[in-house]
Structure 1
Amino acid sequence: MAEQHPVLVLLSKAQFMTSAPRLSSCPPGIGHEVAFVGRSNAGKSSAINALTRQRQLARASKTPGRTQLLNFFGLDGEERRLVDLPGYGYAAVPEAMKIAWQKELQNYLLKRDSLRGLMLLMDIRHPMLNYDVEMLKWAQAGKLPVHILLTKCDKLNRGPAMTTVQEVAKKLKEQGLTATISLFSALRGIGMEEAADKLGEWLHYPPQEGEAIPEANPGEEDSAPPA
């Protein structure tokens, strides 16, 4: 049962650590962390809260797209973390703010030593929009693995939902992009174990005997965004 999944048990211990406006303000890049990212209305906060079994851990902004902070949640001290990245693509956000955040986001994705994978959330009814494709390209440039969670899958019947999975896989192939895909519903608890399996792989949990936690490379935290 899902309650017995070791990664879901670990996730239930998540605690807020800190918020950072930019890479240089983030906690030390040691251990393993997985970042959650997606459009402002993709259900990212709901997914994090469902996976951690905490209603208020990740809080959606009252004005979607306005909160420009990386929020860190510790799972077992400083060794494993989840990172809630700001939503993107919200039309009401000023263009200058979008550009500034895109630079910080790209810097984080390409420079963060402890980042092991990216959970990219897409509303199953509106997948593979422009910002989603841009995010996939950034991740691929940084050789960062991506798992796509097609959220709100309870809005579709099983047949159309599986058709969407196939369509997303086809679009990825056509654009030379690589990612794994699964269905997810925070409301119905669909896809919890599949997401936990991927998180466990990236977080190296359960840990192997004698596993060493890599240390951050000095100085990289202050690197400038790539051109």
Structure 2
Amino acid sequence: MLWRAQLIACAYRYDQVPPHHLPEVVMVGRSNVGKSSLINAMIGQRLAKVSKTPGKTRSVNFFEVQGDPPFVLVDLPGYGFAARSGGELELWRRLIERYFRSSRVSLVLQLVDFRHGFLKNDRQMEEYLAGLQIPVGVVFTKLDKVSGSRRKSALDAYVKEGFRCSIGPFLVSSETKEGLGDLKSGLSLWLKEGSVPREGL
């Protein structure tokens, strides 16, 4: 399944969020969970900037994806990201609050490091999205960092703990490309059949 994409906007304020009529799929996750790497792996292009420095992404980045069906993939700054000035943090908080409370978001892909599972800030994001009634797909990243013999037991443990998930969970590696086909197929199917417009709050 070949996708192509282009960056259409980088928003630091809500008035910079681009107008369009496509469903929006938003990627969220802790800093360094691998959002940018996963975007590049899914698209097959070096669109998102990858860095080992936490908090590299500072804007909300919008990528128009020519998939089946087409959609807009939105990359948010990682939560728990590196220190910022108080003014910058407040601007970011207001942008995210207003964005999530709009009717734009069709689905959130919550990325979780497969080695660590859901940590405190992951659970806080989970509760926040539940309060807004936004559908969530859980994507466990960095699958290649966990040996094959440990993968089933790790996933079973996370499932036993419980997490909110409308589609998935998906286990992926941006390095080895494992699981990318399942993620892309699942996302395309959901956009075709399961996407329901949401009322803005």
TM-score strictly above 0.5: yes
Partner of 2:74: 83
Partner of 1:47: 38
Q: Output the amino acid matched with 2:55.
A: G
CA contact (8 A) 2:112 2:118 kept: yes
Q: Does 1:144 align with 2:134?
A: yes
Structure 1 runs not aligned, ≥5 long: 206-213, 221-225
Specify whether residues 171 and 99 from structure 1 end up closer, same or farther in structure 2 by C-alpha distance, changes over 3 A only.
Answer: farther
Q: Does 1:59 align with 2:49?
A: yes
Partner of 1:223: none
Q: Does 1:14 align with 2:5?
A: yes
Partner of 1:159: 149
1:99-178 to structure 2, matched below 5 A, reads 100-111=91-102, 113-172=103-162, 177-178=164-165
**What is the deviation of 1:73?**
0.8
Q: 1:188 aligns with which of 168, 172, 176?
A: 176
Instruction: Give % identity.
Output: 34
Considering fraction of residues, name the structure with more strand.
2
Secondary structure of the 2:162 match is: helix
CA contact (8 A) 1:32 1:202 kept: no
1:201-212 to structure 2, matched below 5 A, reads 201-204=189-192
TM-score by length of 2: 0.83
- 1: distance between equivalents of 2:44 and 2:10? 21
**What is the deviation of 1:91?**
4.6
- 2: distance between equivalents of 1:66 and 1:52? 20
CA contact (8 A) 2:32 2:52 kept: no
CA contact (8 A) 2:106 2:135 kept: yes
Secondary structure of the 2:61 match is: strand
> Root-mean-square deviation (CA), in Å?
2.7
Q: Output the amino acid matched with 1:190.
A: E
Structure 2 runs not aligned, ≥5 long: none
